[in-house]
Structure 1
Amino acid sequence: MPSSALHIARTGLEAQDQRMRVIANNLANVGTTGYKRDRANFATLAYQDTRVAGQQSSNETTYATGLNLGTGVGIQSTTRIETQGELATTGNALDMALDGDGYFQVQMPGGQLGYTRAGNFTRSAEGQLVTSQGYALQPAISIPEGATSISVAADGTVSAALPGQTEAATLGQITIAAFANPAGLKAVGDNFLTETGASGAAQIGVAGQGGRGNLRQGMLESSNVNVVEELVDMIEAQRAYEINSKMIAAVDEMLRNANQTL
């Protein structure tokens, strides 16, 4: 029994350490554009059934309750919380934020599509809208040389004033990707997510339609990390870690007493 208690306490230490990693990552990304906080989900490990409820206790009776001994706890999964972050005005015409659900599409190296909430785009040497890493926004939007007064409508239509033209010319339309299960997207770093079997296939459509958010030009979405909430979770995890440490110390003392007595 004491050695089993040591193992259970060890699983508690490992689970709380992993939870602290999740919290630390949230706090580290409090200033990351479009970042969505993660939450650690716990699950009990397998139980040891010493006696099963309903098992025969005598020829005429059965046990009303069982004897099930747990073996500890583990991190079952992490859930990305998809709540909207605050929209901050930047005044940069190429900064965009999604006010609602959906993701920008980006062409990543190797031809894979990446999805992001970070709309801090810039213009490449060829005039194409790209991320800070140089990945092209999809569908591709090219801004001709000399274009001024770049405008992005709420539905993603991009237009600009071109030299020699009296009316603004339409340069293209930014479409938005939606997913049946956004929490199933895989985070790959650099603010990018990729499609998985759990997320379902990307459903491409116009901003503001089919539940997709509207585009806001000259704004960026802040992270949805609440620092106070994360600090409370950190204190809770720290206390749980301390309790499991004390359990190990208590079991160690029990073992020492048993050895001295025997």
Structure 2
Amino acid sequence: MIRGLYTSGYGMITLNRKMDVVSNNLANVNTNGFKKDGVVFEEFSEVLAKRLYDNTNRPLNMPQDIGEMALFNDIAEVYTDYTQGSLENTNLNTDFAINGDDGAFFTVAVPDGEGNYREFYTRDGSFKLDDQGRLVTRSGFVVMGENGAIFLEGTEFNVNSNGEIYQNGELVDTLRIRKFENPETLRKFGMNLLAVTDETQEGAFNGTVLQGFIERSNVDAVKEMVDMITILRSYEANQKMIQYQDATLDRAVNDIGRV
């Protein structure tokens, strides 16, 4: 009986953690370039259950094996789905999208508070020009070109499929597009940015850059809502099981004990 309480209780904790992932996906359904997260469940290690002291045919009432069982499950991994989202035409010269390569990202420079800058990566190509004429993200982080920060004289410029930026007929710079062969090793930093890890491997960019487009989130709002309802129903079922087991335990202690 106590084991059942633990099984249902831990199941509620696991479902609560999955709900956090689904809620975050739904909160970012309209975030440009956002990549949804998913959850992989795993069972706890199986244990061998035995029948004790109820088989008089076995010598000395030795316990008898009745099979393996897992008490409950846990979240093994929270992964990110880097599938490309839909592309939306904005007709804005400062908007860009990467098409045809799920492992490619724009490079931005983020200050670390000590006067230095660190590279991060994003699929959100909704850029703008700051008061210095630099191409920056909506959060104000500098978009990196092959020669550093990209300086432009107004929004009248063109970008070809290779990311080369032309203004007044001259090549200004090329967008620094980083391709990663194993994007699953990237880690979300916040503010729609990604950071590399020691396992991240670079590759060759095979896609194209589109000017005047932005990539939308790859979150399917309907599917996430269905998942949320399923989680709620499972949570309620575990909650009711705890109530049933608690009531049974109460009767076993108070009523049977009096008999």
Q: TM-score range by the shorter chain?
A: 0.7 to 0.9
Q: Which residue of 1 aligns with 2:12?
A: 13
- Aligned residues of 2:144 and 2:150 also touching (Cα < 8 A): no
Q: Which amino acid aligns with 1:191?
A: N
The aligned length equals 239
Residue segments in structure 1 that go unaligned for 5+ positions in a row: 52-57, 162-167
Across the aligned residues of Structure 1 and Structure 2, the Cα RMSD in angstroms comes to 2.3
Report the Cα offset of residue 141 of structure 1: 4.6
Residue 65 to residue 173, structure 1, CA distance change in 2 (3 Å): farther
Residue segments in structure 2 that go unaligned for 5+ positions in a row: 51-57
The correspondence of residues 42-191 of structure 1 with structure 2, limited to 5 A, is: 42-50=41-49, 67-100=67-100, 101=102, 102-110=104-112, 111-139=117-145, 140-145=148-153, 149-161=156-168, 168-191=169-192
Counterpart Cα distance in 1 of 2:84 and 2:155:
31
SS at match of 2:3: helix
Percent identical residues: 31
Q: Which amino acid aligns with 2:166?
A: S
Counterpart Cα distance in 2 of 1:33 and 1:25:
14
1:194-235 C-alpha deviation (Å, 9 max, x unpaired): 01134x1344x5xxx4xx321110111110111111111111
User: Normalised by the size of structure 1, how large is the TM-score?
Assistant: 0.84
Counterpart Cα distance in 1 of 2:191 and 2:41:
27
Report the Cα offset of residue 65 of structure 1: 7.0
The 4+ residue runs of structure 1 with deviation greater than 6 A are none
User: Normalised by the size of structure 2, how large is the TM-score?
Assistant: 0.85
Report the Cα offset of residue 179 of structure 1: 1.5
SS at match of 1:193: strand
Counterpart Cα distance in 1 of 2:48 and 2:26:
41
Aligned equivalent of 1:261, options 253, 256, 259: 256
